[in-house]
Amino acid sequence: TDRISLVATPEQADKACNALAAASAWGFDTESKPTFVQGEQSDGPHIVQLATLETAWVFQLHDPGCRARVAELLALRGVTKAGFGLGDDTKRIQHKLGVQPADVLELNTVFRQRGYRKDMGVKGAVAVLFNKRFIKSKKAATSNWANARLTEAQLVYAANDAWAALRVFNALEVSAAR
């Protein structure tokens, strides 16, 4: 977990921004507190994950200053933000952060363009490209991402999703000029 950085304050977000600035692509994902009541609307995302190959940053969105930095990062042009199942994520980000994420690459679309029939998702992509099983904890997936204190299991789960997306992006050698 020393390669996972939890970001909850504007100062931490500034550090993350500086570190992320050097990369041309990030692994990207979000997590929202699950809703269990019919008709209940999620006010997520509650966290945004951005990863380089070295580090994954897990941004909590409680602090307005931290939210503002995340919005700037997501709106930044010229950096590919690669991930899986991002349609819902980008809609929620627009609603919560008031920005349209720029240069988002839906990796499921890349797989479809290459002849795969169904949505790969991160598990399928890792299996196909690296011949490995990507284990995702159901308990972490359905945990409360709105908590002020995230558990180590939550941090690892969140970071791994973003890292895996970036590794898949790199393995696919998607050209930046789409």
- What is the bridge-based pairing of β-strands 25-31 and 80-83? parallel
Asked whether residue 177 is assigned to any structural domain, the reply reads: no
pTM attached to this predicted model: 0.91
| pLDDT score, position 35 | 78
CA atoms within 13 A on the CB side of 26: 31
- CATH for 113: 3.30.420.10
Q: Is 82 helix (H, G, I), strand (E, B) or coil?
A: strand
Residue 70 to residue 53: CA distance in whole angstroms: 19
Is residue 178 predicted with pLDDT exceeding 70? no
Closest CA to 48 of 34, 27, 64: 27
Domain carrying residue 73: 4-172
Asked whether residue 109 is assigned to any structural domain, the reply reads: yes
Distances (CA, A) of 81 to 35, 150, 175: 26, 24, 13
User: What is the arithmetic mean of pLDDT over 28-50?
Assistant: 88
Q: What is the pLDDT of residues 133-171, one digit of tens each?
A: 998 888 999 899 999 999 999 999 999 999 999 999 999
Asked whether residue 131 is assigned to any structural domain, the reply reads: yes
Confidence of residue 64 (pLDDT cuts 50, 70, 90): very high
Asked whether residue 44 is assigned to any structural domain, the reply reads: yes
Asked whether residue 178 is assigned to any structural domain, the reply reads: no
Give the tokens for residue 160.
């791994």
Asked whether residue 89 is assigned to any structural domain, the reply reads: yes
The alpha carbon of residue 174 and the mean position of all alpha carbons in its chain are separated, in whole angstroms, by: 18
Give how many domains the chain has, as a whole number.
1
Asked whether residue 76 is assigned to any structural domain, the reply reads: yes
Asked whether residue 63 is assigned to any structural domain, the reply reads: yes
